[in-house]
Amino acid sequence: MYNPTVARLTYRALLGRRRALILCGLPVLLIVLSVAVRAFTGLDDKVAADLLGGFALATMVPLIGVIAGTGAIGPEIDDGSIVYLLSKPVKRPTIIMTKLIVAIGVTMAFSAIPTLIAGFILNGNGQQIAVAYTVAALVASIAYSALFLLLGTVSRHAVVFGLVYALIWESLFGSLVSGAKTLSVQQWALSIAEKIAGEGYVDATVALPTAVVLLSVVTVGATVYAGQKLRRLTLAGEE
C-alpha cells in the first residue's frame, strides 16, 4: 500500500519552491507570536493554552492540512501530469495511500513540531499544555490530510473549498455554533488534548469515544473514497 517512487515525487512537488515558503510562513508566525507573548506577559498557562488552541490548532493546523492535503494530488490532476502515475501497473488505492502518508508527514512536520516548540516557549510545557496540543495537532494532521486529499481528488477548486472549511466551518462556526462542533476535526483533536492537559485548560465539546470513532470513520472513509475516485478518474484531453 506504499510506493516509494510515488512518495518521492509527491514530497518533491510539495516541498518545492513556493509551496514550501507558504508551509513555513504560519509556523514561523506562531513561534514569533509565542516569543512576543512570553516576553510581554511572562509565563501564563492560560495564555499559552489560548494561543495554542486559538491559533495553532484552530488556524495553523487546518491551513497546513489544506496546503499539504490538496497539494499532494490536486496540481497533478489539474495539469494532467498524473497520467504518468496512472499509466503504470500500480494500484490506484496504493497511489492514494502513499500520497496520504506523505501529506500526513508534511502536515505533522509543519504543524505539530512548531506547536511543541511554541508550547515550550510559552510556558515550558506547564500543565502538559504543549504536549497536549502537540498530540492534538498530530491527530488532526491525519484527519485533515485524508479529508483534503479527497477534496484534491474530486475537485478542481480543492484549495478554495479547503480554505472555506478550515476558516469558516472550523474557526468560525466551530467556535460559535455548538452543533458544528460535533462535526469538527478541531474539536475531535481537542477532546484528546483535554485528557492530557491539566484540568480546566483545554475545553472540548465532544466526548473522547465519539471523537475517536468520528476521526477514524472520516480518515478511513475519505481515503477509501479517494482511492475509488482515482480508479474512475477520467482525463478528457484537450479537445
Partner 1 sequence: MTTIDIDHTSRWFGNVVAVNDVTMHIGPGVTGLLGPNGAGKSTLINMMGGFLAPSTGTVTLDGAPIWQNEQVYKQIGVVPEREAMYDFLTGREFVVANAELHGLDDAAAQRALATVEMEYAQDRKISTYSKGMRQRVKMASALVHDPSVLLLDEPFNGMDPRQRMQLMDLLRRMGDDGRTVLFSSHILEEVEQLASHIEVVVAGRHAASGDFRKIRRLMTDRPHRYVVRSSDDRALAAALIADPSTAGIEVDLKEGVLRIQAVDFGRFTELLPQVARENGIRLLTVSPSDESLESVFSYLVAA
Binding site residues, partner 1, CB under 8 A: 3-6, 8-9, 12-13, 16-17, 79-81, 83-92, 231-239
Q: How far is the CB of 99 from partner 1 (least distance, A)?
A: 14
Query: Using CA atoms, how far apart are residues 159 and 130, in angstroms rounded to an integer?
Result: 29
Q: How far is the CB of 239 from partner 1 (least distance, A)?
A: 5
Nearer to partner 1, 88 or 195 (CB): 88
Q: How far is the CB of 235 from partner 1 (least distance, A)?
A: 4
Q: How far is the CB of 108 from partner 1 (least distance, A)?
A: 23
Return the C-alpha torsion angle 164, 6, 135, 160, nearest 10.
0
Burial class (CB in 10 A: 0-12, 13-18, 19+), 156: exposed
Q: How many CA atoms lie within 13 A of 162 on its CB side?
A: 31
Nearer to partner 1, 39 or 236 (CB): 236
Locus of grid cell 468560525: 172
Cell of 140: 488532526
Locus of grid cell 475509488: 228
Q: How far is the CB of 17 from partner 1 (least distance, A)?
A: 8
Q: How far is the CB of 94 from partner 1 (least distance, A)?
A: 9
Report helix, strand or coil for 159: helix
Locus of grid cell 462535526: 183
Nearer to partner 1, 179 or 234 (CB): 234
Q: How many CA atoms lie within 13 A of 138 on its CB side?
A: 10
Nearer to partner 1, 5 or 41 (CB): 5
Q: How far is the CB of 144 from partner 1 (least distance, A)?
A: 25
Residues with Cβ within 8 Å of 166's Cβ and at least 6 positions away in sequence, in order, are 59, 62, 63, 65, 66, 144
Nearer to partner 1, 179 or 237 (CB): 237
Report helix, strand or coil for 198: coil
Nearer to partner 1, 199 or 232 (CB): 232
Contact yes or no for 180/174 (Cβ under 8 A): yes
Contact yes or no for 6/99 (Cβ under 8 A): yes
Nearer to partner 1, 195 or 231 (CB): 231
